[in-house]
Amino acid sequence: MTTFISESRPRARTAHFCDACRGRIAPGETYSKAAMKSDYFYTWVMCLSCIPVLAKAWAANYGDLSDSSLDYDDCHEWAQDNPEDADAAAYLDRQGIS
CB-wise, 1 or 59, nearer to Zn ion?
59
| 75 near Zn ion, judged by CB under 5 A | no
CA–CA distance, 50 with 56 (Å, rounded to integer): 10
| 50 near Zn ion, judged by CB under 5 A | yes
46 forms bridges with which residues in the sheet? 32
- DSSP-assigned letter for residue 60: T
Q: Cα–Cα–Cα angle for 67, 69, 70, nearest 5°?
A: 145
Shortest CB 27 distance to Zn ion, Å? 16
For residue 54, report the phi and psi dihedrals to the nearest 5 degrees.
-60, -45
| 20 near Zn ion, judged by CB under 5 A | yes
Which run of H or E residues covers position 87? helix 86-94
Site stretch for Zn ion (CB under 5 A), options 1-9, 13-21, 60-68, 75-83: 13-21
Shortest CB 3 distance to Zn ion, Å? 22
- Binding site residues, Zn ion, CB under 5 A: 18, 20-21, 23, 47, 50
